Amino acid sequence: MVDIRNLVEDAIANRDYTELLAVVPYAQHLGMECDQLGEELVFRLPNNPENMGNPMLPALHGGVIAGFMEMAAMVQLMVVLHTSRVPKIVDFSIDYLRAGYARETYAECRITRQGRRVANVSVSAWQTSRKQPIATARAHFLID
């Protein structure tokens, strides 16, 4: 059995989130990466032909964008709260703002409210400029 708390603590101490992302199967499937820039975590979704939804543009599949954003919010909570368990998603709402083309995609998260049992996270995803997000989302998680 994987000790989530130790993985989180090691990731924070080493500023390397590879092992932590590896225990989240969908994050691993997408090939997600995470970098720490100062105190901020920035998640990266590499360009992968398997993630295409519309090959004519070519554009990312909307479900891939949503899954990437959900996984980013989940990992952000794990790191900020130093959790011993993976948070459980309660609700996820996404607004697609523009096409996500076949290129690297980035996401940043902000915990907007944290109670004893539920945490709210807002997520923004972009490709070429933070000022032009391709999607924004709101997620609610059950935390321990």
pLDDT of residue 49: 87
pTM, to two decimals: 0.93
pLDDT of residue 13: 92
Q: How far apart are CA 2 and CA 61, in angstroms?
A: 31
Q: What is the pLDDT of residues 18-51, one digit of tens each?
A: 999 988 888 888 999 999 988 899 999 999 888 8
Q: How far apart are CA 68 and CA 76, in angstroms?
A: 12
What homologous superfamily is domain 4-142 in, according to CATH?
A: Hotdog Thioesterase (3.10.129.10)
pLDDT of residue 84: 85
pLDDT of residue 10: 93
Average pLDDT over residues 126-142: 97
Q: What is the pLDDT of residues 58-101, one digit of tens each?
A: 999 999 999 999 999 999 999 999 988 889 999 999 999 999 99
Considering only residues 1 and 61, tell me which one the structure prediction assigns the higher pLDDT.
Answer: 61
